[in-house]
Amino acid sequence: MKQSGKKNGNMGILDANIEEARARMYALYGENHRITGGQYDKSLAVKCVNGTFVGKKTDEKVVAFKGIPFVGKQPVGDLRWKAPVDIVPDDGVYEAYYFAKAPRQEGSVSQLGSLYPQSEGCLYLNIWKADDESTEKKPVMVWIHGGAFEIGGTAEPREECTNFVKENPDVILVSIEYRMNIFGFFHLSHLPDGKDYPDAQNLGLLDQVMALKWLHENIAFFGGDPEKVTIFGQSAGGGSVTLLPLIKGSHKYFQRVIAESGSPVFTRSVEESIACTNEVMEALGCKTVADLQKVDVETLVKTEGALLGLRVWAERDGRILPLDPYQAYMDGAAEDLDLMQGCTKDEVGYFIYGFTVEGYNAWAADRLQKKLSQLTDEEKALCAAFCERAKDVSPEYSSTSRLFDQIVFIAPLFRLSENQTMAGGKSYTYFFTPESSVPLMRSGHAIELSTVFNHPEETFVTGRLFDETFSKTMRKMWVQFAKTGNPSLTAAESPDGKAKEWPLYDLENKQVMIFDEFNIHAEKESERQLVDWERTYFLTKYYCI
C-alpha cells in the first residue's frame, strides 16, 4: 500500500532523495524494438499469437521476456478510460529485453517501481522461465503488484523474478501491469457524458483479466501449463486476486489464488466512488469527461493523489464486481478454486514508520473519526472496548493502530477464510511474524516480499536478513501450492528436512500456519487470539474506506 505522498515523516525525508532513487530505476530502462532481417537468437525466441518475442538471459539458468503487450491497442487517446482491447494476430518479431513503462502515477521511494519511466500505455507483462530442456508443462505463477491501486510497477527490484526461478526452475513466473489511480479506478458514468465510460471504475481489474486471457492463450508456447495457473499478489495485488474470482468468466484463466495482506475489504461502494470522483472534479474545475480529457496528465495524477490517498479502491458496482463480495464467496463464487491467504503480525507498522508516529496518529485519528461515523452506538462501544483491551506495551503502537490492523487486514482475512470454507471451498491461512530491524516497522506490511522473491539484499522494509532456511522454506511452500493446491511439505521436500503439514482452515479449529522465523507451525486461531470475533469482526461489513 501507498505511503504518505507529502514531504513529512520518514517517507518524506527519504523522498528528498527521490532523484537518486529514480536514477537507479532509469538505469534499468530500455526500449524494445521490432527486429527485422532475421538477426536474432532463435533459441531465445517464442512465437505467440501477437508476435514472436525474443528474450534475454538474466542468469545463465534463467531467460526473461520483458515488455510483452497483452492488448491490441494501448489505452491512450480515445481509449483512455475504456476497456482493454484484445490482441490481434501479428507475424512480426520483437525484442522482449526491457520492462515496458510503468503506469502514470506519483513516484515514491516506498515502491521503486513507481520511479521507473511512465506512460498511460502500460499494458505489458513479463515472463521468467528456466533455460532448460524440460518438455513437461510447468505450473505458472502470475504476480500482481501492490501499491494501494495508486503506485507501483513490475520493474520493482524486490519483485524481480530471476532469483525465484533459478531456485525453483519447475515453475514459470509472470508479472503483469495494470492501470491504477485516476486511470484505472475512477467512476465516470454519472457524469453528463459518462455513459460511454461504463467500466472506468474497475479498469485495472479488467486489465488484469485481459493479461490472464493472453497468458491462457500463449503461455504454453513458453512451456507453461495454462490449466495450472496461480495468481498471487500483495496489498492491492492481494485485494486484486481475491476480486478476480468474482468477475464473470475469469475462472477459465486460473485455478489457485495466493493473497498476501489483501482482501475484498479493498473496495468501495458506488456512492463512495462517485463522491471521490466529485472531489477531484471540483478541484479541477471540471464538469464532464470531455473537460477531464483537456487536463494535462501531471495535473490529473497530482490532484487525485492529493485528495484520495488510500481511498482509491475497486468498486462494488454490481456489474463487474458483486455488491457484496463476501456474500459471493459464501454463495460459492470461488468454491472451485484453491485459496491461500494471510497477513503480517504488525501490518500498520509500515505506516507508523512511513508517516512517523506523529503523522500516523494524526492520519489515524481522522480516519477513525470517519469510520466511527458509519457505526451504530452499540458498534462504537465495541470498538472502544477493543481499544481498551488492545493497549500495546510500546507507546508508538497505540490501540488505534491495533484497531486498524483488525479493520484493514486481520478481520477481513478471517472473514474470507470463513466464507470460502462455508461454501465448501479450500482455504489455507497464514500469519507472518518475523520482525524488521527498522525502527517502528516490526512485522509490518510488505515485510515478506523480499523473502518471497528471494531478494535478501532489498532491506528497505526488513532492515536485515531473515534466516536463509526459513526464507527458502516459505518460497517452497508457495511453489508447492502452485503445483499441487496444497502448500504442505514432506520431510524430503522441506529445506530443513522436517515435514510441514499445513491444515486447511476449518470452521471449528480455525487453524492457521504461523510463519515464525525459526518455527513454522500450525496453530488454532484461539491460541493466539488473532481476531477479536466480538469487537472487530463485524467491521468487515463497512469495508476499508
List strand residue ranges (DSSP E) for 112-182, in order: 124-130, 138-144, 172-176
* The pLDDT of residue 390: 86
Instruction: Report the number of distinct structural domains present in the chain.
Output: 2
Query: Is residue 355 included in any domain, yes or no?
Result: yes
| Start-to-end Cα distance in the chain | 13
Number of helices (H) and strands (E) in the chain: give both, helices first: 18, 17
* Residues 382 and 306 grouped into a single domain: no
pLDDT value for 15 = 59
Q: What does the alpha-carbon distance between residue 220 and residue 90 come to, in Å, rounded to a whole number?
A: 18
Domain boundary among 259, 289, 323: 323
Closest by Cα among 318, 324, 307, 315 to 201: 315
Same domain for 297 and 387: no
Asked whether residue 163 falls in the same domain as residue 236, the answer is yes
DSSP, res 102: B
Task: Tell me: do 286 and 367 sit in the same domain.
Answer: no
| Helix or strand holding residue 372 (H, E) | helix 357-372
Q: What is the DSSP letter of 335?
A: T
Note whether 43 and 85 are same-domain residues.
Answer: yes
Q: Does one domain contain both 277 and 356?
A: no
Distance CA 368, CA 400 (A): 8
pLDDT along the chain (545 residues), means of 10: 39 64 95 96 98 97 98 98 98 98 94 96 98 94 98 98 98 98 98 98 99 98 98 98 98 98 98 98 98 97 94 97 98 98 97 92 92 95 93 79 96 98 98 97 97 97 97 98 98 97 98 98 96 96 85
**Domain holding 101: CATH number?**
3.40.50.1820
Q: Are residues 273 and 389 located together in one domain of the fold?
A: no
pLDDT at site 16: 55
For residues 133 and 272, membership in a common domain is answered with yes
pLDDT at 544: 79
Q: Is 378 domain-assigned? A: yes
Residue 335 domain flag? no
- Return the pLDDT at 25: 96
Does the annotation count 235 as an active-site position?
Answer: yes
471: containing domain? 347-450+465-545
Among the three residues 323, 356, 388, which one is the final residue of a domain in this structure? 323
For residues 33 and 175, membership in a common domain is answered with yes
Eight-class DSSP state of 409: I
pTM, full prediction: 0.96
My answer on whether 370 and 319 are in the same domain is: no
Tell which phi-psi region holds residue 132, choosing left (phi > 0), alpha (psi between -120 and 50) or beta: beta
| Active-site pick, 4, 108, 175, 235 | 235
Rounded (10°) angle between helices 270-284 and 297-308 = 130
User: Do 390 and 508 belong together in one domain?
Assistant: yes
- Give pLDDT, residue 392: 72
